[in-house]
Amino acid sequence: MAFRALLLCITLLLLPVAAVAENAGDVATPREPWVVKMIPNSQGGFGYCAMRTVYDNDLAVILALSPHYEINIGVEIPNAELNVKDRHPLHVVVDSLYDRDRVGVAWQKDVLMILMGRDPALLTALKKGQTLLLTGPEDEVRFQLRRTAQAVESLKKCVVAGNKGQMKKFKGIAATPEQETLAVTAPTSASPALPTPHGKPGKESKAARNGAASGGADFPPSLLQLLQAAGFKDLQIAKVKDPSKAPVDFAWRTAGLFGGMRERVIPKDSTIEKMTDIITGSYKKQCSGIYTADNSKVENYTGVKIRTMNIACQMQDHTAYVALLVYLTENHLFTMFMHETDMAHKDDANKARDSIATIIRGAAASPPAAASPPPRI
């Protein structure tokens, strides 16, 4: 439970939704128009924008958009009595326009939250589509998308106004506790399972800012904070044009190393040992020279298993080296961090890997802070 409470990437239990709907195959229709509001942060400044409507199955749907255009989908379920912080894989579909596997959380007893990250394709699909389909491990629920195009455009304009400090245009909006739960820093794409870095993260380096400006704009802020908390220097974000064809979802360069991260929801019968074999097997196929691999013993924490890996490929002119960190949560979310270099800089790669591992272990071993609010965008 300690590790799960500290993860920003958290998964969603949709089964209670099926209990509310009389027939999960029916399409719920909105009872009222979408309402777009600007939600202030705790200091009174711009927090995020949200659009909300209530459906005829008594569920309310909220689409929240952060200042960085990261998206969270919230589903309010009256009197649900959910198990707070339960997590499960989730499938999000909008007609034939959008189809993604995502993760989310039962963040309050009556609020389910899906962390979608920065995903312009979702906004486009919500504008053009007819039905939003959410599918969990046991069941599904469908929401009709009526007059959503105008609401999404208003939502985007709200964020533009908020980023310009034009709060008066949306004066008099007070966030409810349910709305506040949507303001969580959400990683993008595969939703990296990252703990909140302990302590105050260092200032963003000039190289990191330049990297974001030249192609790393979609880089999750929470991932950047983790790398900074790990002490990475001269950090530069590298653009991953197509994660489906690349070995990682997000990439960076630091102190002569090439680093990357990938995360996926894996089948229930998969284990960290099986995933380790897949990774080492993949590297071995790519090695045309002498291949070696060394895996640590699996470390067992509450809710997560952790392992480090060292892989080398000795070729004629040089030896390539990769230091990896992998971990698997009890909800089948598998994460891999890797740092590649040559054998001469092996220690640097190991240090980078171990710095991240230290933060992950700390999150796994630390009890949750009972009074601490969720991190905000």
| DSSP string computed for 111-177 | EEEEEEEE-HHHHHHHHH-SEEEEE-SS-EEEEE--SHHHHHHHHHHHHHHHHTT-GGGGTT----H
In angstroms, the CA 144 to CA 28 distance is 6
Within the chain, which residue ranges are assigned CATH 3.40.1000.10?
206-365
- Give the integer Cα–Cα distance in Å for 279 and 337: 12
Neighbours of 238 (CB within 10 A): 17
Residue partners of 40: CB distance under 8 A and separation at least 6: 46, 47, 167, 173, 174, 175
Residue 85 region by backbone torsions, left for phi larger than 0, else alpha for psi between -120 and 50, else beta: left
Which residue, 184, 182, 132, is CA-closest to 17?
Answer: 132
Q: What is the pLDDT of residue 327?
A: 93
Phi and psi at residue 50, to the nearest 5°: -145, 145
- The residue ranges of the chain whose pLDDT is under 70 are 1-25, 88, 104, 138, 168-217, 244-245, 365-377
Which CATH fold topology does 206-365 show?
Protein Transport Mog1p; Chain A (3.40.1000)
pLDDT at position 353 is 95
Tokens of 260: 């990357």
Positive or negative CA dihedral for 218, 222, 223, 228?
positive
So what's the pLDDT on residue 77? 83
The tokens for 129 are 């589509």
Q: Which of 166, 137, 170, 142 is nearest to 12 (CA)?
A: 137
Contact 120, 104 (CB under 8 A): no
Domain with CATH 2.60.40.1880 in the chain: 2-180
Q: Which residues contact 37 (CB under 8 A, 6 or more apart)?
A: 49, 50, 51, 52, 158, 170, 173, 179
Angle subtended by helix axes 221-229 and 346-365, to nearest 10: 110
Q: What length does the chain have?
A: 377
Residues contacting 170, CB < 8 A, separation 6+ = 37, 38, 158, 161, 162
pTM higher than 0.85:
no
Question: Which CATH fold would you assign to the domain 2-180?
Answer: Immunoglobulin-like (2.60.40)
Q: Which residue has the tokens 């939250």?
A: 113
Which residues lie closer than 8 Å to 179 by C-beta, 6 or more apart?
37, 39, 50, 52, 62, 64, 74
Instruction: Give the model's pLDDT for residue 354.
Output: 94
Take residue 185 and report the two structure tokens written for it.
């820093």
The reported pLDDT for the residue numbered 349 is 94
